[in-house]
Structure 1
């Protein structure tokens, strides 16, 4: 379960639209299970994004991945992370009693409210967590303007 801090005192109608977009994205990213009998969610990494004055920071849970298993791309203010969790194939069959592991390709995208400096993005992958630092463009960073009062 992801926890999202929200201000309880204000209501923003765009929050409802954002929740709807998230639900629709999850619905359209569903795939058939291997038996083809019922629907199940394909692998989708859990994501956390927060904003700092000069950059955005994203953490994605990608346990069991190698650096070569996923891609990061930026176009304008849109970040996309894609990859594939491959099903482990063994020569002898196992008699599974229960399995909740999910496999398959994934692609997740986010539109940030400001342009990103794509040439200054830094990403690290350690212990199954992908950390991405996305510097804001210079025009998007907060600036202090001194106004003379007469």
Structure 2
């Protein structure tokens, strides 16, 4: 198969243009390179980078709302757990099968397992959490518990000893 990224007899672009090479080096992410080494993935072939979905977390007056971009993740491959104040969202996106005779000109899609953990503030109602995966976007709503209404206490209505105040319904002393 022909390599469309290089013309026969031409000098590769990076050897011809030192500024392109410099720009390429400036875009190098050493942390990503280290994560590839730790996970045993080397080179630019399929599976070269781990799948890491983007999350959006916001708080409204009624709930905490999480959104995550999970294209290609099936519901059966997604796990959401809420234990106390800890929310853990994990799952996996599996790589597509490739044939030996296929030649990739570019392979930028990532696959693999992911796990994200969030510590929530007090006040989440765990019994009314809802999750929906639609069009590759996870929508997770964690409603807040109803706030305890404040109660007004009038002075002179408590039954404190030695204060001289009497509670309603008390019989006067003889």
Q: In structure 2, what is the Cα distance between the partners aligned to 1:125 and 1:97?
A: 32
Query: For the residues of structure 2 that align with 1:71 and 1:94, how far apart are their CA atoms?
Result: 33
Shift of 1:144: 6.1
Equivalent in the alignment of 1:114 = 122
Q: Find the aligned partners of 2:49 and 2:97 in 1 and give their Cα distance.
A: 20
Q: In structure 1, what is the equivalent of residue 132 of structure 2?
A: 124
CA distances 1:10-54 after superposition (whole Å, capped 9, x unpaired): xxxxxxxxxxxxxxxx98x9344775258x651111111111122
Residue of structure 1 in register with 2:65 after alignment: 57
Give the alignment partner of residue 48 of structure 1, picking from 47, 56, 75: 56
RMSD of aligned residue pairs (Cα, Å): 3.1
Q: Does 1:87 align with 2:95?
A: yes
Tell me the TM-score normalised to structure 2 length.
0.58
SS, match of residue 30 in structure 1: helix
Q: Point out where structure 1 has 5 or more consecutive residues left out of the alignment.
A: 1-25
Instruction: Return the alpha-carbon distance in structure 1 between the equivalents of residues 134 and 76 of structure 2.
Output: 13
Unaligned runs of 5+ in 2: 1-30, 154-174
| Higher radius of gyration, 1 or 2 | 2
Q: Report deviation, 1:90.
A: 3.0
Q: Structure 1-normalised TM-score?
A: 0.66
In 1, distance between residues paired with 2:137 and 2:97?
24
Structure 1 CA distance for aligned equivalents of residues 41 and 83 of structure 2:
37
Matched residue, 2:42: 36
What SS is found at the alignment partner of 1:63?
coil
Q: Is the 8 A contact 1:76 1:116 kept in 2?
A: no
